Amino acid sequence: MSKYSFEFKLNVVLDYLNGETGGYKTLAKKYNIKSKTQIETWVNRYEQFGEEGLKRTETKKSYSGEFKLAVLQYRQVNKCSYREAANHFGIANSSTIANWQRKYLAEGFEGLNKPIGRPASMSEKSNEKDRLKLTSSEKEELIRLREENEFLKASLAYEKKLKALVQAREQKTKKKRK
């Protein structure tokens, strides 16, 4: 449940737009709202979306990772604020874009694609583990491939060391000739 009703928000916004009071700060005092920023947000939503912008939405809108990245790129290219970008793309809450920016900086594009909320249930995780179990022939092949990999690593290291020794010997003989 929202702290403020739709009718209350609409009255505050209309008071501001009619210029009946001095501004956001005066309205905040008149209506006993702790933050003038709250009123700024309501006015912005009303100007962008009309009365629908003041109503509480029941469903949470989800956006693709590509869309989120496009919004962040638009904001960077046009050097605009979160609010301006939100208005341009029709996103109701500018803090949504700020959260995307934070996730993108911390985790890259993968952070933008992560689902919101709790991770999948344990049963889904255990099903994934079951799919990853190997048969005995696959295990044998994996062991063989690991051994082969170790052998190839050792061969490369040996060849590298041998080449270094040959080069060192050639340099010594060049110095003696001079």
In this prediction, residue 163 carries a pLDDT of 93
Q: At what angle do helices 36-49 and 82-89 cross, to 10 degrees?
A: 30
Q: What pLDDT band is residue 159 in, cutting at 50, 70 and 90?
A: very high
Please report, rounded to a whole number, the percentage of residues in the chain having pLDDT higher than 70. 87
Is the predicted pLDDT of residue 52 greater than 60, yes or no? yes
Cα dihedral 138/144/147/151 (nearest 10): -130
- Render the burial of 73-90: b for 16+ CB within 10 Å, e for the rest: eebeeeeeebbebbbebe
DSSP symbol at 86 = H
**Of 120, 125, 99, 94, nearest to 111 (Cα)?**
99
Q: Residue 101 above 80 pLDDT?
A: yes
What is the pLDDT at residue 109?
81
